Amino acid sequence: MDPHHDPRQAPGPAPGLADLKIADKTFTSRLILGTGGAANHAQLADAITASGTELVTVALRRVDPGAPGSLLDVIEACGVDLLPNTAGCFTAEQAVRTAKLAREAFGTDWIKLEVIGDEDTLLPDPVELLDAADALVADGFTVLPYTSDDPVLARRLEDAGCAAVMPLAAPIGTGLGVRNPHNLALICEHAGVPVICDAGIGTASDAALAMELGCSAVLLATAVTRAADPALMAAAMRDAVNAGRAARLAGRIPKRHLAKASSTFEGLAEL
Amino acid sequence: MKIHINGEAREGIATITDAVAAVTEARRGIAVALNGEVVPRAEWDRPLTDGDAVEVLTATQGG
């Protein structure tokens, strides 16, 4: 291995990992990057490039006349698709309106649906979330709901016609990693749409674990944007998602209680 | 006639197009809500009336 090689410049995923299909789009990368938390546009652009992502999320907010440069220009220059979110909405009605505004602003009917039920934990409000999902699917949106790690709610969202389900690893911005791997695995086991682990990822091993549990992709933001070196962490996340996916496909060995030698005892010298 | 653009009181704004121009030169990636309802770009020439609340929105960093 070249000791001077910069991982931020590494090539894309290894062959054989298969593309990710969500609704009518196909992605080579299984990492979706949230843009929230970046210190500036240049740092964000470097992180997007290093992550290898093909899809980034944005929020919809009042125009800030003093804002330095256009976030849309940055995203366009990186050549990635845009996924608007409904962050900040606490009711289905607010989320539906925000989704319609996003469709008008960005010309996409894809929406990361987020309906928050509690200010301290930012956990989703399941009742409002399902209501909003119903309304948006009926209006022709491609709905990707940020949801809790409840397998029943995930199933209900899929039944409502969502194009993917996005259970959290842990509450938004906590970096606590996968708090309930069993639930996440159950959701993956039963889902007929892609499962995207969204929120709570702190470091590369968290992203790898989510993929090993069967997730189709990982969505993360501040784990990268607020890391000391965002581009380097973005590269780590890219590799972790690929490694986790490969490990999942490779089929891990079963866990055992007692040791099992890998060196045979046959032919062992009598010493 | 007084209207509100992004929460700020303004005078002398006749249409949504004027309201957008008052806060940004950008046209791409902009959406407008009038009193909470989405207004498609084709209807931005719609005249405003006293007390209207206009929200002019765009993309910002978010997860």
pLDDT given for residue B63 in this prediction: 87
Range of the domain at B41: 2-57
pLDDT, residue A6, reads 74
Give contacts of B58 with chain A, Cβ < 8 Å: 60-61, 63, 72, 105
pLDDT more than 90, % of chain A: 89
Does some domain include residue B62?
no
Q: Say if B42 falls within a structural domain.
A: yes
State the pTM of this model: 0.92
Average the pLDDT over B50-58 and give the result.
95
**Are A83 and A109 contacting, i.e. CB atoms less than 8 angstroms apart?**
no
Beta strands in A35-183 (DSSP E): 55-62, 81-84, 110-113, 142-147, 166-167
Contacts of A60 in chain B (CB under 8 A): 31, 57-60
CA-based nearest residue in chain A for residue B43: A104
Q: What is the ipTM of this complex?
A: 0.95
Task: Return the active site residues of A.
Answer: 112
A99 part of contact set with chain B, CB < 8 Å: no
**Chain A residue nearest residue B27, CA to CA:** A105
pLDDT of residue B26: 86
The answer to whether A45 contacts chain B (CB < 8 Å) is no
Q: What residues contact A86, with CB distance under 8 A and at least 6 apart?
A: A60, A94, A95, A98, A99, A102, A111, A112, A113, A114, A115, A132
Nearest CA-CA partner of A112 in A121, A124, A120: A124
What CA–CA distance (Å, rounded) separates A85 from B63?
8
Position A1 scores a pLDDT of 47
Query: pLDDT tens across A23-79, in order?
Result: 999 999 999 999 999 999 999 999 999 999 999 999 999 999 888 788 999 999 999
pLDDT, mean of residues A145-168: 98
Given this model, what pLDDT does residue B62 score?
A: 92
Residue B41, in any domain of the structure: yes
Q: How confident is the model at residue A14 (pLDDT cuts 50, 70, 90)?
A: low
Whether residue B38 is predicted with pLDDT greater than 60 in this model: the reply is yes
Per the domain annotation, does B40 fall within a domain? yes
* Number of domains composing chain B: 1
For residue A234, what pLDDT band results from cuts at 50, 70 and 90? very high
Q: How confident is residue A9, by pLDDT bands cut at 50, 70 and 90?
A: confident
Query: B63 in a domain, yes or no?
Result: no
What domains, with CATH codes, occur in chain A?
18-250 (3.20.20.70)
When mean pLDDT is compared across A13-17, A106-110, A193-197, A207-211, the lowest value belongs to: A13-17
**What does the block give as tokens for B41?**
């770009």
Q: Which residues contact A201 (CB under 8 A, 6 or more apart)?
A: A169, A170, A175, A177, A207, A210, A218, A220, A223, A237
Q: In angstroms, rounded to a whole number, what is the distance separating the alpha carbons of residues A246 and A161? A: 29
Would residue B29 count as lying in a domain? yes
Mean pLDDT of chain A: 94
Mean pLDDT confidence for A236-258: 95
Q: Which of A2-11, A82-91, A138-147, A226-235 has the lowest mean pLDDT?
A: A2-11
pLDDT score of A7 more than 80 = no
Residue type, A134: D
Q: Residue B39 belongs to a domain with what CATH number?
A: 3.10.20.30
Mean pLDDT for A88-96 is 97
| Residues of chain B contacting residue A219, judged by C-beta atoms under 8 Å apart | 63
Q: Parallel, antiparallel, or unpaired: how do β-strands A217-220 and A31-34 relate?
A: parallel
Tokens 């956990």 locate to A123
When CB atoms are compared, the residue of B58, B61, B63 closest to A105 is B58
What 3-state DSSP class applies to A31? Answer: strand
pLDDT beyond 90 at A105: yes
